[in-house]
Chains A and B, each alone.
Chain A
Amino acid sequence: GAGVSQSPRYKVTKRGQDVALRCDPISGHVSLYWYRQALGQGPEFLTYFNYEAQQDKSGLPNDRFSAERPEGSISTLTIQRTEQRDSAMYRCASSLDPNTEAFFGQGTRLTVV
């Protein structure tokens, strides 16, 4: 595609529900990153993939968070048993390879009520 696409753009969920956030990277991009961004802050690293392999998940806050990229393209970030503190903007980025600049999507605004 022309850019990184994330869906949904907005998600409101009740506390305790599971949510799945989707990222469709730029076609052909090897690396895919997930970040979380609070208002007025820079993006905070969560996890990243090269192809289908999850290279680093050190930024995932706890074991309720998981991510996959089974075919090396689309990725899903899943949050189980959501809590209010999970409310944030979740951003996905992709790059042609690990050594080149990353391009960000518009993000998914998650609100847990």
Chain B
Amino acid sequence: EDQVTQSPEALRLQEGESSSLNCSYTVSGLRGLFWYRQDPGKGPEFLFTLYSAGEEKEKERLKATLTKKESFLHITAPKPEDSATYLCAVQARNTDKLIFGTGTRLQVFP
């Protein structure tokens, strides 16, 4: 069964304190791995898609990486406005649906 596990469940960082969020997955043939950001009361907002092991993508203070078993979302020198829940999802080759993890709730304090 396709499955996504995210860790930690919650993370508190001081502004400027870099860290990483983990997304471990099992899927019957990976088509794509997606990262989303979700602010309270809002729908998930797309960040990145990764397709193959070794691929990396960056956007401002965020960098996503992918291996055959997991993905990391690295946050460099975070700011309070980076506070949100970060969701990881996988799409298998034999389906179009996304399977989501439960998310990591990030809080960045000034």
Q: Is the CB of B102 closer than 8 A to any CB of chain A?
A: yes
Task: Check if B98 sits within 8 Å of A33, measured CB to CB.
Answer: yes
Q: Is the CB of B44 closer than 8 A to any CB of chain A?
A: yes
Q: Report A-chain residues with C-beta under 8 Å of the C-beta of B103.
A: 40-42
* Bound-state Cα–Cα, A87 to B97, Å: 23
Chain A interface size, as a band, is 20 to 34
Total cross-chain contacts (CB, 8 A): 57
Task: Check if B102 sits within 8 Å of A56, measured CB to CB.
Answer: no
Q: Report B-chain residues with C-beta under 8 Å of the C-beta of A93.
A: 43-44
Q: Report B-chain residues with C-beta under 8 Å of the C-beta of A42.
A: 4, 87, 89, 100-103
Min CB distance A98 to B, Å, is 4
Task: Check if A31 sits within 8 Å of B43, measured CB to CB.
Answer: no
Q: Is the CB of B72 closer than 8 A to any CB of chain A?
A: no
Which B residues contact A (CB, under 8 angstroms)? 4, 31-32, 34, 36, 42-46, 49, 87, 89, 95-103
Which A residues contact B (CB, under 8 angstroms)? 4, 31, 33, 35, 40-45, 48, 50, 55-56, 59, 91, 93, 98-107
